[in-house]
Amino acid sequence: MQKKKNCVFCSAWIFAAAYYWLGWAFLVVTAVGVVVHLYLALCTGRGRRRGEQEDEEDLLDDGNPFASGSAAPEQEEGVST
């Protein structure tokens, strides 16, 4: 009667196979995600938000003393520079 081998590493190949295939799955999902993101950003106009130019103009015009070369801000009374 033969004794059965008690080999721990004989059944450990499943972990190596899972690591191998999960590594490939990660790379494929990452590549597909990059392609989808680039398509959405470039083809559908999601790369630049609509109205961003108006937002920039509002930021420049709202109380910014340095916008469009305007004069220096008025100083408060009693404050010297």
What is the block-wise mean pLDDT of the chain (81 residues), using blocks of 10 residues?
A: 66 90 98 94 68 63 60 58 57
Residue 41: closest CA among 30, 49, 53, 52: 49
pLDDT value of position 43: 85
pLDDT value of position 46: 60
- Residue 73: CB partners within 8 Å, gap ≥ 6? 65
- For 16-25, which contacts have Cβ atoms below 8 Å and span 24 or more sequence positions? none
State pTM to two decimals: 0.47
Do 66 and 72 meet the contact criterion of CB atoms below 8 Å apart? no
